Amino acid sequence: MAAPNPDSGDLGDRDEPDRAATPSPEPLADEDVEARWAEIVDRLGEPDVPGDAGRADDDADRDGGPADTARLVVPVTPEPQARPAGPRDWPTTPEVEALEEADSHFTPPEPEPVLSHDPLMTLAWTLAVGVPVLTVLGVVLRSPVPAVALPSWLGPLGGALFVGAVAVLVWRMPHRRDPDDTDPGAVV
């Protein structure tokens, strides 16, 4: 006999308990709720203060010792609120002010133009980005208009141009550092 599948609703030979036979609790009157709440609060007592005295009382209660021992209550003074840190929470020195003054007049150098003076690199980047974009556009635009037929040689030509462009970009990458370049890069 196969085991019953709990997901199928088939419980096999097990009897489901009758939910209607279990009585639901009656709602309590407000006075009863208040009385029970007061009883719970009285049973809890005062909160314990962390320390050895509180643990000793708990040990005595567990061991059957006297439960009416006086507890040590230490008044706690609130700690002063910490201020959120601002841009400057300390007095400045003349050296710091001089450094800030020198840094405030920094102007970054002009960046090189995007289209550099090397036409081979410009052509390689254009083909490396343009061929995949045109391929995706061709596939997307061809699906709603199937009557448009592209020449069969266009796919291999685009692939060859893309591979050639990537090869030129890899070939023109710097292979080693310039020995005259002593710049370590970004310095923070």
Predicted pLDDT at 1? 52
Whether residue 185 has pLDDT greater than 70: yes
Q: What is the pLDDT of residues 24-47, one digit of tens each?
A: 778 878 888 899 989 988 888 776
Full DSSP string of 28-69: PPHHHHHHHHHHHHHHH-SPPPSSHHHHHHHHHHHTT--S-P
Q: What is the pTM of this model?
A: 0.38
**How does residue 56 score in pLDDT terms, banded at 50, 70 and 90?**
low
**How does residue 150 score in pLDDT terms, banded at 50, 70 and 90?**
confident
In single-letter form, the type of residue at position 173 comes to: M
